[in-house]
Amino acid sequence: MDSVGPVGLQQGEEAAQEGLPCPPGSSELVQECLQQFRVTEAQLRQIQASLLGSMEQALRGQASPALAVRMLPTYVGSIPHGTEQGDFVVLELGATGASLRVLWVTLTGIEGRQIEPRSKEFVIPQEVMLGPGQQLFDFAARCLSEFLDELPVGGQGLQLGFNFSFPCHQTGLDKSTLISWTKGFQCSGVEGQDVVELLRDSIARQGTYSINVVAVVNDTVGTMMGCQPGARPCEIGLVVDTGTNACYMEEARHVAELDEDRGRICISIEWGSFSDDGALGPVLTTFDHTLDQESLNPGAQRFEKMIGGLYLGELVRLVLVHLARLGVLFGGCISPALLRPEAFLLEHMAEMEHPSAGAAHVHAILQDLGLSPGASDAELVQHVCAAVCTRAAQLCAAALAAVLTRLQHSREQQTLQVAVATGGRVFERHPRFLRVLQETVKLLAPECDVSFTPSVDGGGRGVAMVTAVAARLAAHRHLLEETLAPFRLTLEQLAVVQAQMREAMVKGLRGEASSLRMLPTYVRATPDGSERGDFLALDLGGTNFRVLLVRVATAGVQLASQIYSIPERVAQGSGQQLFDHIVDCIMDFQQKQGLRGQSLPLGFTFSFPCRQLGLDQGILLNWTKGFNASDCEGQDVVCLLREAIQRRQAVELNVVAIVNDTVGTMMSCGYEDPRCEVGLIVGTGTNACYMEELQNVAGMAGDSGHMCINMEWGAFGDDGSLSMLSTCFDASVDQASINPGKQRFEKMISGMYLGEIVRHILLHLTSLGVLFRGQQTQRLQTKDIFKTKFLSEIESDSLALRQVRAILEDLGLPLTSDDALMVLEVCQAVSQRAAQLCGAGVAAVVEKIRENRGLEELTVSVGVDGTLYKLHPHFSSLVAATVQKLAPRCAVTFLQSEDGSGKGAALVTAVACRLAQVAHV
């Protein structure tokens, strides 16, 4: 493949340097020399792929020493979002050689308003640089005090960011162990020590100011964090100064070194040490080899030596010496100054490449080196500078393209939109470098939409921003924990709920005042497997109504069903209108199934609070779930159904049983498991039933046998017994409901309300500035906008954070990764409380059964239905774990019901028919 040129980057172009033709008569020798600096697209793609592969290896903890890409976590978990404010102190050590800089940085939190930092530089004496470590850090502490003495600080506590520019192993935002000194420092007793602790000890010994060292930061991270928040997130920092490095925000779950599965963390790539011979070998020139051998660290930092500003001037010098020896330059003359390493500096290259004054600068610089440039020499020297600079930019672009590809793949985005913060003198002084970099990135990563933003003082403002973000996150964390604390229930609190429910059960069974109605269902047995026949089932319990044909045979249970909707006008109209609609649906179903004229036994699942007076008699106590049909409460719903049947004389139905959906769930599972004696619903609403000893049920004749009790436990706590667990968010949801003060237990557990609880918490956290930058959105103000299904989706272990963000963004909530994590925590807290309360209730029920039967240990199954229980990724396991803790003498198995409302109603009817036949015989 042909060479890649510096601008335009079309595949057929040679690296002609922006209109700088080779001087006549020297083209072959010059072309042969500079051809080594020309890089093909294929070579750049190989470097991109190799670096990407070594990055991913290192993230997995499988780093190869030969590739030397370290991928170090920096423990910076969030980028600025523009609201950070306050005063911060920054201490820079090692960023500027033998000096130390202290800065006072004020962040306003207001877009476009910046206050210039105050700073002071202190020269570090040679004896301090080479003396004991304590002496160095005591010197830093004195400099801090001296700087702060000049400011009106008073007695306020100060937050400090520490820019420590030496090789370190970081294990926390404020924990960093020095690996080795560089840059002329050699203080004893520091290598292998946590430099933050050493600084804290010295500040404490100084004792003048209250200073909290919040974060230790390297300059690359500071560059990224110093980028002004814009339209797209700045999640990459790129430094090309004396050396080069990059950092970016990685998904924490991909970093093997961390025990995190959510959120993001900034990774320092340390790509200067990248040294894959397979990828870099073809683009290394003889000049690169010479430079490496003459360096202080031969064989190390190979990639950096092709890009970093410390080396570019030296590469130019080596090329000029070579061309002069060939007689192409300076008439073949070589001055002693030109032979001296580092005679050519980065600053010289920048001056010589100046668009208008470049030629004059070339003559001046060469003359300072004792050379007498000829007429064509200036042009040729510029050509050499351009070739070296262009290659450096292209190689840097290949590395950046690897980072962009990594980001795009890890976030599974078709198009990645991201800002790159740039820092370092190469960017500041070489406009060509950035132009070539941008064009090459477009070629190598066309699916990435990248903008480049110069960082504003990464070492100062950037480090202050890291500190500010850490302070913001800590403050927000405190407010979040404070808000969610009431939802985090202790085992003791749950045991109290269990005891209260047990007490309410006993009172309800005796007919005493209780928030648990404990209603007899007149279901006296669970299936024994001998039931046979065809049955109809009706299922009314929500906005959809089902009619089913259920065939119970030796081979099992077969179902045919149809769903019919119940319009809101019908659900809240007259009772006659509602039951006429139900019968119309039954007639339609019978016609479609070819059942016209047949009178099959029918079970009616009616999932609303009823007081049953017999198996086919049920008095509606009150509507729930949004129903409010008139003239129904206090009436026998079976009679209302039979009256509607009579009004539609074309249908014949034998209504055998009215069944609560919870009972149907128990019976459905009981057909498969005879130990199933408890039914549980956790869906739109919640309820439970169980088989009680008949002798314990007040008002029921008989001292032997069992009776299924419909607990109607959604109303548990309506007497105020749950007030100690109720939060202000529960109160808001209750007050906005159609039945304030009622169904308090249900409103803390069921799917109809959990999304609303979450929404009220999010509103509260937004008002505190913790979420969504404190900006209230109209969508979040809308009742029921946050569906409970979102909790199940957001808490799914299979969802990456980006998918959580997508769910919330679909609600019109523009949010950061931090917001997404906090919303996740809110959802987890609300659903965990719901599951634990549900578990406390189940524990009360199974313990009651065990004690009823005088057993040391009880083995029992619970049949469960409901979308929240079935679809939420953790609800079922949390319920089971709570029951195990609160009822350790009960071995409880949870069985998910298959169509308890339909199949269960038919089985209640089938059991009733079986018992009736036995009684008749």
pLDDT interval class at 391 (50, 70, 90): very high
Helix axes 751-767, 728-736, angle to 10 degrees: 120
Pairing of strands 416-423, 533-540: unpaired
CA atoms within 13 A on the CB side of 43: 19
CA gap 752, 730 in Å, rounded: 13
pLDDT tens readout for residues 294-351: 887 888 888 999 999 889 999 999 999 999 998 888 888 899 999 998 888 888 888 8
CA gap 372, 219 in Å, rounded: 41
pLDDT interval class at 14 (50, 70, 90): very low
pLDDT interval class at 17 (50, 70, 90): very low
> What tokens does 219 get?
């300059």
Helix axes 817-852, 751-767, angle to 10 degrees: 140
CA gap 105, 128 in Å, rounded: 27
Question: pLDDT at position 748, please?
Answer: 97
Average pLDDT over residues 349-357: 83
Find, among 269, 370, 289, 390, the residue nearest to 324 by Cα.
370
Asked whether the predicted pLDDT for residue 23 surpasses 50, the reply is no
DSSP assignment of 612-634 equals EEETTEEEE----TT---BT-TT
Asked whether the predicted pLDDT for residue 641 surpasses 90, the reply is yes
Find, among 188, 198, 177, 192, the residue nearest to 127 by Cα.
188
pLDDT interval class at 704 (50, 70, 90): confident
pLDDT tens readout for residues 216-236: 998 899 999 988 777 688 999
Question: pLDDT at position 60, please?
Answer: 87
pLDDT tens readout for residues 744-784: 999 999 999 999 999 999 999 999 989 988 888 888 888 98
pLDDT interval class at 836 (50, 70, 90): very high
Question: pLDDT at position 49, please?
Answer: 93
Question: pLDDT at position 18, please?
Answer: 38
Strand partners, 162: 91, 216
Asked whether the predicted pLDDT for residue 858 surpasses 90, the reply is yes
Question: pLDDT at position 845, please?
Answer: 98
Residues 6 or more apart in contact with residue 497 via CB below 8 angstroms: 722, 725, 837, 840, 841
CA gap 403, 55 in Å, rounded: 9
pLDDT interval class at 582 (50, 70, 90): very high
Helix (H) or strand (E) holding 657: strand 654-659
Residues 6 or more apart in contact with residue 426 via CB below 8 angstroms: 240, 241, 308, 309, 312, 346, 392, 433
Average pLDDT over residues 549-566: 87
Asked whether the predicted pLDDT for residue 795 surpasses 90, the reply is no
Average pLDDT over residues 635-651: 88
pLDDT tens readout for residues 618-630: 999 998 877 889 9
CA gap 546, 582 in Å, rounded: 9
Asked whether the predicted pLDDT for residue 179 surpasses 90, the reply is no
DSSP assignment of 344-384 equals S-HHHHHHHT-TTTHHHHHHHHHHHTT----TTHHHHHHHH
Asked whether the predicted pLDDT for residue 572 surpasses 60, the reply is yes
Helix (H) or strand (E) holding 448: strand 448-454
pLDDT interval class at 919 (50, 70, 90): low
- Residues labelled as active-site residues: 546, 607, 661
Residues 6 or more apart in contact with residue 196 via CB below 8 angstroms: 162, 174, 175, 176, 213, 216
Helix (H) or strand (E) holding 44: helix 41-59
Asked whether the predicted pLDDT for residue 548 surpasses 80, the reply is yes
Asked whether the predicted pLDDT for residue 112 surpasses 70, the reply is no
> What tokens does 841 get?
């209730």
pLDDT tens readout for residues 808-830: 888 777 777 788 889 999 999 99
Percent of the chain with pLDDT over 70: 94
Distances (CA, A) of 701 to 472, 691, 694, 704, 706: 67, 16, 8, 9, 11
Q: Which amino acid is at 385?
A: C
CA gap 617, 521 in Å, rounded: 9
Angle at 864 between CA 861 and CA 869, to 5 degrees: 130
Question: pLDDT at position 65, please?
Answer: 62
Beta strands in 175-319 (DSSP E): 175-178, 211-217, 234-240, 244-251, 264-268
Average pLDDT over residues 684-706: 88
568 with 738: CB under 8 angstroms?
no
Question: pLDDT at position 30, please?
Answer: 82
Which sign, positive or negative, has the C-alpha torsion 853, 857, 860, 862? positive
Distances (CA, A) of 210 to 16, 24, 159, 173, 216: 59, 69, 9, 19, 18
In degrees rounded to 5, what are phi and psi of residue 448? -110, 125
Asked whether the predicted pLDDT for residue 78 surpasses 50, the reply is yes
Radius of gyration of the chain (CA): 38
CA gap 30, 237 in Å, rounded: 36
Find, among 409, 623, 475, 516, the residue nearest to 109 by Cα.
475
Pairing of strands 264-268, 556-565: unpaired
Question: pLDDT at position 680, please?
Answer: 96
pLDDT interval class at 2 (50, 70, 90): very low
Q: 649 or 90: which carries more pLDDT confidence? A: 90
Give every strand in the sheet of 158-164, ordered side by side.
Answer: 118-123, 99-107, 86-93, 158-164, 211-217
Find, among 505, 426, 392, the residue nearest to 223 by Cα.
426
Round the average pLDDT of the chain to a whole number and report it.
Answer: 88
CA gap 603, 564 in Å, rounded: 17
Question: pLDDT at position 27, please?
Answer: 62
Kindly report which listed range (251-265, 391-405, 599-613, 656-670) carries the lowest average pLDDT score.
251-265
> What tokens does 161 get?
């960011």
CA gap 828, 678 in Å, rounded: 27
Question: pLDDT at position 144, please?
Answer: 95
Q: Whole-prediction pTM value?
A: 0.77
pLDDT interval class at 63 (50, 70, 90): low
Q: Which amino acid is at 294?
A: E
Question: pLDDT at position 459, please?
Answer: 67
Average pLDDT over residues 649-673: 86
Length of the chain, please?
921
Q: 456 or 650: which carries more pLDDT confidence? A: 456
Q: Exposed, middle or buried by CB within 10 Å (0-12, 13-18, 19+), for 126? A: exposed
